[in-house]
Amino acid sequence: MQQVKVRRRRIAAVLAASALAAGIVAAIAAPGGENAPEPGPAGRVRPALTVAGTVPERAEWPRLLPATGNISAWQEAVISAEISNYRLTAVDADVGDRVRKGQLLARIAEDTVAAELAQSTAAQAEAQAALQEARANAERARQLHGSGAMSDQQIRQYLSAEQTAAARLQAARARVQADRVRQAQTRVLAPDDGIVSARTATVGSLAQSGEPLFRLIRGGRLEWRAEVPEAALGRLVPGTPATLTGPDGAMVRGRVRTVAPTVDPGTRNGIVHVDLQPAAEGGAVLAGMFARGEFELGRDSVLTLPQSAVLLREGFAYVFRLEGPGEGGEARVAQAKVKIGRRVGERIEIADGLAGDTRVVAQGVGFLADGDTVRVADAARTPGTAAR
């Protein structure tokens, strides 16, 4: 009997709790309730975003061929001493100096060379005096020829002595000229305008003929030796413009000078020599740098959109077309797959999948899904803006 009473109490408690829950639900659902939703037109969906629309713009974009390569000197002159075993007494140029043609770079001790020049000059004067005497004797012999006052043998000796003296004078003059040239070679001069790229000359060292003292970038000219795939070499001709990006982000412009006539059999790349515009001191590129750049092969007319209007998802690109507007400036969005191309600044090329007059969402595409309803901002809003 006691068990029956306990069971009845439990059933009564469950029924009371169920009645209380039903009353709460009815109160919430009743019209005019505190939590009742705002009234609205039947079937109308609240917009997910307020967006601005845009249409593709047509622009003239360069057709580019990317490449990489090293920066090198156009021509590098090796400057050496022309006389050997003479000590350097002064070095007047250092690495990085801009020099002019004929400018003094270094001096070599000239004491010994000057003494040899003085000696050869004295020998020349002696030979000149000997020639004058030999000519006088030869002239007298010519006058006495046939008179019997001088034998034919003596006459021939005087004439031969004149020729010998003349030859000795020529040899003496040649030695003087050679010594003057050697004296001039004690001054190491720049063979052309340019920039000193290396220096091994030091004061006190012995100069050796043919041993480099300086290296000079002729004219300060640099070139980009770009490696280009063999399939693209035929598209490059002398005069094609190129643009390099320096390590500091500065742009350096140049033009193709020549295309190498051979291709590396290992890499299948050819070398394209690009003359770079002369840079001021501390330029953006230096010889020996590795650089990336692009060749401009022409210009194309392309459709472009702001990058914010394109959604990249799972390896594909999408845009959201605006279909409408409907009531209150609202519109539905339809997701469309497109093919994209180059990027220039904040815009991206639409290569396929979108007509030129199609209106699309300009920004905030990451928050949208196919079929969403959005509110389209009026024309007074700044293009490309979006608000939650």
Interval 164-201: pLDDT, tens: 999 999 999 999 999 999 999 999 999 999 999 999 99
Residue 354 belongs to domain with CATH number: 2.40.420.20
SS3 call for 373: strand
Residue 353 DSSP symbol: S
Q: Is 352 exposed, middle or buried (0-12, 13-18, 19+ CB in 10 A)?
A: exposed
Q: Is the pLDDT of residue 143 over 90?
A: no
Looking at the structure, do residues 165 and 243 belong to the same domain, yes or no? no
**Cβ proximity of 367 and 335 under 8 Å:** no
Cα(113)–Cα(96) distance, integer angstroms: 32
Cα(129)–Cα(167) distance, integer angstroms: 13
Looking at the structure, do residues 142 and 126 belong to the same domain, yes or no? yes
Looking at the structure, do residues 198 and 231 belong to the same domain, yes or no? no
Q: What is the pTM of this model?
A: 0.62
Quick one: how far is CA 352 from the chain centroid? Answer: 32
Is pLDDT larger for residue 153 or for residue 295?
295
How many distinct structural domains can be found in the chain?
4
Cα(49)–Cα(359) distance, integer angstroms: 16
Looking at the structure, do residues 136 and 262 belong to the same domain, yes or no? no
Strands 222-229 and 57-73: antiparallel
Q: How confident is the model at residue 6 (pLDDT cuts 50, 70, 90)?
A: very low
**Cβ proximity of 79 and 213 under 8 Å:** yes
Helix axes 152-184, 111-144, angle to 10 degrees: 160
Mean pLDDT of the chain: 83
Average of per-residue pLDDT across 281-292: 78
Is pLDDT larger for residue 235 or for residue 143?
235
Cα(339)–Cα(345) distance, integer angstroms: 18
Q: Is the pLDDT of residue 275 over 70?
A: yes
Q: How confident is the model at residue 320 (pLDDT cuts 50, 70, 90)?
A: very high
Please choose, from the candidates 266, 211, 256, the residue with its C-alpha nearest in 3D space to the C-alpha of residue 235: 256
Q: Is 221 exposed, middle or buried (0-12, 13-18, 19+ CB in 10 A)?
A: middle
Is pLDDT larger for residue 305 or for residue 16?
305
Range of 288's domain?
65-75+220-300
The answer to whether residue 124 is domain-embedded is yes
How many helices and strands, by DSSP H and E, does the chain display? 4, 23
- pLDDT tens column, 332-361: 889 999 999 888 889 999 989 888 888 999
Give the per-residue pLDDT at 49.
Answer: 79
Looking at the structure, do residues 201 and 172 belong to the same domain, yes or no? yes
Please choose, from the candidates 287, 377, 312, 303, the residue with its C-alpha nearest in 3D space to the C-alpha of residue 344: 303
The answer to whether residue 44 is domain-embedded is no
